[in-house]
Amino acid sequence: MSISNEAVEKLITSAIPGAEVTVSGDGYKYETTVISQDFEGLNKVKRHQLVYAAVNSAITSGELHALTITALTTEEAA
C-alpha cells in the first residue's frame, strides 16, 4: 500500500496553508520541496518537524515509507 504524490502534497498543504509544495515519488521513496513563510526564523530541524507532523498519519499507517524534505522560506527559494 502506498500513497500518491498528490495525497502527500495535500497533507502538507493542509497543515501548512499557503505553502508551495512539490512532491515526486515512486510509491516507496518520496521527495518534497516545501516553500513557506512559516519557516521564517526556524532552523532546519524545526522546519522538517513541521513537514513530518503534516504527513505523520501516512507514515504511521505505512503508506509513506521514506520522505526527503527540502524546506525553504520564500526568500531562500527566490
> pLDDT tens digits, residue range 12-68?
999 999 999 999 998 878 999 999 999 999 999 999 999 999 999 999 999 998 999
Task: Give the domain ranges of the chain.
Answer: 5-77
Measured distance CA(23)–CA(69) in Å, rounded = 9
Q: Which pLDDT score, from 0 to 100, does residue 73 have?
A: 98
Neighbouring C-beta atoms of residue 3, cutoff 10 Å = 22
Statement: 5-77 belongs to CATH 2.40.440.10: no
Q: CA quadruple 5, 61, 59, 50: dihedral positive or negative? A: positive
The grid coordinates of residue 51 equal: 513537514
- Is the pLDDT at 70 greater than 80, yes or no? yes
